[in-house]
Amino acid sequence: MFEFLQSKTNKELEKILLELKLNESNNYKDAAQLNYKEFVEKYHELDAAGKLNYKQKVNYSEKLSTYEVKLQGFTHKDQKPYWAGDENTTNKPKDN
């Protein structure tokens, strides 16, 4: 009846998204991945419980899709440690 009064946001999901954005911007890759997983789980939990209205579902499903693509390959696992025996390291002392 009063759909125009319903918010497009959910406090629980917004808190997780804020942490996700902060971790992503600070290049905390593993923490950002954990926040994304937490976001997905909480979204599905709230959706299944009927606690999200139509506007919230649309809003958060778009954010889910965006972060799913954005965070692919956003991990430290493929990062090479340049300090461990890399011949092309700029910090390596030169032999004279």
Residues 24, 17, 23: CA angle, nearest 5 degrees: 20
Number of structural domains found in the chain: 1
Q: Is 58:96 a contact under the CB 8 Å cutoff?
A: no
Within a domain: 96: no
Within a domain: 46: yes
Within a domain: 20: yes
Distance of alpha carbon 20 from the chain centroid: 4
Q: Read off the amino acid at residue 34.
A: L
DSSP-derived secondary structure letter, 10: -
Q: Read off the amino acid at residue 93.
A: P
Domain span at 61: 9-70
Q: What is the pLDDT of residues 23-82, one digit of tens each?
A: 988 888 889 989 999 999 999 999 999 999 999 999 999 999 999 988 887 765 655 555
pLDDT at 39: 96
Within a domain: 84: no
Within a domain: 77: no
